[in-house]
């Protein structure tokens, strides 16, 4: 029997691109506040409303939260911070131990001139997007400790389709993950028994050639490895 | 100094106002009508952006008590959501208004309960990692502390978090079981009166602009060490040992 997984934010910028890599393995329950871009059936669920999240989570084995509001002074707090709290409470209510959380990377504004940036403390800053998602991570940590949950948080900068052909006069953008790699990471996160302290945040990127950001932690704890050597599409021909 | 006190209707807010030197000008703010006829009173919610812009005008120091307004919803879910919203969005609105108005100093009233899960075999200093529980009030106060820290990181702004013990009054403790977190509310207020003097806003290194102090009673063999706070000027007068006997 496939595991039942609640996918919050199913119509957003990320989740529709994950279905191809998740549907063969999981019974996905798609929910969002807006219609799916590809016309898929989506149940209504506003993550900032606890009652709606609770109803959507019933019968699930895991929850994936890809909801986000970026720059709204009020809704960012309600969706990103309170929404994460609602997800945690609903998971506790049904004994759901596995939650995939998501957010922005918290490192580029501080460490972008450094190299070998791996598992460094997140710098939230005061912008609505990063701060509210950072507060959400703190909520997840507290719930993981209190209820013995396993929460994997993926943090992103760039996301997009895989390169299809040789690219000239361009470089693979730093801290960018292609959909195939993120699909793999999600499958690994849904299957892993446990992570240290019940909560771990993972940089998601597909190419480490710059020597700046890397996926060492995901490699070490999740067994993640980018599905291809994407750098070869950007190789300069001498 | 011109000082804004939030949560001014709370017991802590009242004690802080009483503890401040009379040379200070105090503006008190809470989400209720004035509690007395003394001084300037602002009735507003922390999440009201325009009201906060007005409230911080001409202010030198903000004392953000972290205390909830008197009227919280009876419904547990609504109450939890309000506590979270005031602590996160409300603190953000207040800090943003403060930095935009040129306020250089803020003192926040956090809680030692963020260390509730540490065993009593540990001497807990400010170097220990907070492990907040999921209890809504504790979690909310911790998140507000994080918001204050980020403003100290991003702006030329001194933010000081006072992690307060459990607020009590010495005279009410007779026969009570001693608690390592006890703190007389008047000593708590005196800590705020000292902390408002801290100003590292000119420091280019944000580490100097942000500080955390543990504030509790000076009990023998304390779990929560207050040496760093004493260095900041905290001088508690009540060890609460007599009252507990």
Tens of pLDDT, residues A53-87: 999 999 999 999 999 999 999 999 999 999 999 99
Euclidean distance between CA atoms A137 and B83, whole angstroms: 18
Contact between chains at B92 and A74 (C-beta distance less than 8 A): no
Residue B244 has pLDDT above 70, yes or no: no
Backbone torsions φ then ψ of A148, nearest 5 degrees: 55, 45
Q: How confident is residue B243, by pLDDT bands cut at 50, 70 and 90?
A: low
- Overall domain count for chain A: 1
Chain B residues touching A139 at Cβ < 8 A: 139, 143
- A131, B150: Cβ pair inside 8 Å? yes
The CATH code of the domain that includes A182 is 3.40.50.720
Average pLDDT taken over every residue of chain B: 96
| pLDDT beyond 60 at B105 | yes
pLDDT digits (tens, 9 = 90+) for A122-163: 999 999 999 999 999 999 999 999 999 999 999 999 999 999
Question: CA A78, CA A85: separation in Å to the nearest integer?
Answer: 10
Instruction: Work out the number of other CB atoms within 10 angstroms of the CB of residue A190.
Output: 18
Q: Tell me how far apart the terminal alpha carbons of chain B are, to the nearest angstrom.
A: 41
Domain extent listing, chain B: 2-244
Cross-strand bridge partners of residue A152: A100, A200
For the structural domain made of B2-244, what CATH number should be given? 3.40.50.720
Q: Give the integer Cα–Cα distance in Å for A26 and A23.
A: 5
Cα dist from B197 to B57, B152, B235, whole Å: 19, 16, 14
ipTM: 0.96
CB contact under 8 A, A125 and B143: no
Choose the mutation target among B82, B150, B205 for the interface with A, i.e. most A CBs under 10 Å: B150
Q: Which residue of B has its CA nearest to A77?
A: B89
Q: Cβ(B107)–Cβ(B62) under 8 Å?
A: yes
Which of chain A's residues have a Cβ under 8 Å away from the Cβ of B146?
124, 134-135, 138
Residues B26 and B39: beta-carbon distance below 8 Å: yes
Q: What is the DSSP letter of A121?
A: P
The helix (H) or strand (E) run that includes residue B100 is helix B91-100
CB contact under 8 A, A135 and B143: yes
Number of cross-chain residue pairs from A and B with Cβ atoms under 8 Å apart: 63
For residue A115, the enclosing domain spans 3-234
Arithmetic mean of pLDDT over chain A: 96
Q: Which residues contact B108 (CB under 8 A, 6 or more apart)?
A: B64, B66, B91, B144, B145, B148, B159, B160, B161, B162
Q: Which residues of A touch B88 (CB under 8 A)?
A: 77, 81, 132, 135
Angstroms from B84 CA to nearest CA on chain A: 7
Q: What is residue B239's predicted lDDT score, i.e. its pLDDT?
A: 86
Query: A135, B88: Cβ pair inside 8 Å?
Result: yes
Say how many C-beta atoms besides its own lie within 10 A of residue B63's C-beta.
Answer: 32
Establish how many alpha carbons lie within 13 A of residue B195's alpha carbon, considering only the half-sphere containing its beta carbon: 32
Residue among B89, B142, B155 whose CB faces A138 most closely? B142
Average pLDDT over residues A98-117: 94
């Amino acid at each position: 029997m496939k595991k039942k997984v609640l996918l919050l934010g199913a119509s957003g910028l990320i989740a529709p691109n994950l279905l191809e890599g998740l549907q063969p393995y999981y019974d996905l329950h798609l929910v969002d506040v807006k219609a799916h871009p590809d016309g898929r059936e989506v149940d209504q669920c506003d993550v900032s409303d606890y009652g709606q999240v609770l109803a959507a989570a019933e019968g699930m084995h895991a929850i994936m939260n890809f909801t986000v509001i970026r720059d709204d002074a009020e809704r960012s707090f309600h969706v990103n911070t309170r929404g994460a709290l609602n997800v945690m409470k609903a998971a506790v209510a049904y004994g759901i131990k596995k939650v995939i959380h998501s957010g922005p990377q918290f490192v580029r504004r501080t460490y972008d001139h450094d190299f070998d940036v791996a598992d460094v403390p997140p710098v939230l800053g005061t912008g609505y997007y990063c701060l509210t998602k950072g507060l959400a991570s703190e909520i997840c940590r507290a719930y993981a400790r209190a209820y013995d949950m396993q929460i994997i948080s993926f943090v992103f900068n760039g996301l997009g389709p895989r390169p299809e052909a040789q690219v000239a006069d361009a470089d693979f953008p730093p801290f960018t993950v292609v959909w195939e790699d993120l699909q793999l990471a999600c499958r690994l996160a849904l299957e892993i028994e446990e992570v240290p302290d019940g909560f771990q945040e993972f940089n998601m990127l597909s190419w480490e050639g710059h020597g700046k950001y890397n996926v060492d932690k995901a490699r070490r704890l999740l067994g993640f490895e980018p599905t291809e050597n994407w750098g070869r599409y950007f190789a300069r021909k001498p | 100094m011109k000082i804004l006190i939030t949560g001014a209707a709370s017991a802590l807010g009242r004690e802080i106002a009483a503890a401040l030197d009379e040379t200070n000008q105090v503006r008190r703010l809470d989400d209720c009508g004035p509690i007395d006829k003394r001084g300037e009173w602002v009735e507003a919610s922390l999440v009201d952006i325009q009201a906060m812009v007005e409230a911080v005008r001409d202010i030198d120091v903000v004392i953000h008590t972290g205390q909830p307004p008197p009227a919280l919803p009876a419904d547990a879910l609504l109450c939890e959501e309000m506590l979270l919203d005031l602590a996160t969005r409300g603190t953000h609105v207040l800090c943003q208004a403060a930095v935009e108005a040129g306020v250089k100093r803020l003192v926040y009233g956090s809680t030692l309960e963020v260390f509730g899960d540490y065993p009593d075999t540990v001497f807990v200093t400010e170097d220990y990692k907070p492990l907040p529980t999921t209890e809504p009030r504790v979690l909310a106060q911790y998140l507000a502390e994080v918001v204050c820290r980020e403003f100290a990181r991003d702006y030329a702004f001194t933010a000081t978090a006072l992690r307060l013990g459990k607020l009590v009054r010495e005279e009410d403790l007779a026969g009570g079981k001693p608690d390592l977190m006890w703190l007389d509310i008047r000593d708590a207020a005196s800590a705020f009166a000292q902390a408002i003097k801290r100003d590292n806003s000119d420091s280019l290194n944000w580490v100097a602009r942000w500080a955390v102090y543990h504030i509790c009673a000076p009990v023998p063999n304390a779990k929560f060490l207050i040496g760093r706070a004493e260095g900041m000027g905290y001088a508690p007068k009540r060890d609460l040992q007599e009252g507990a006997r």
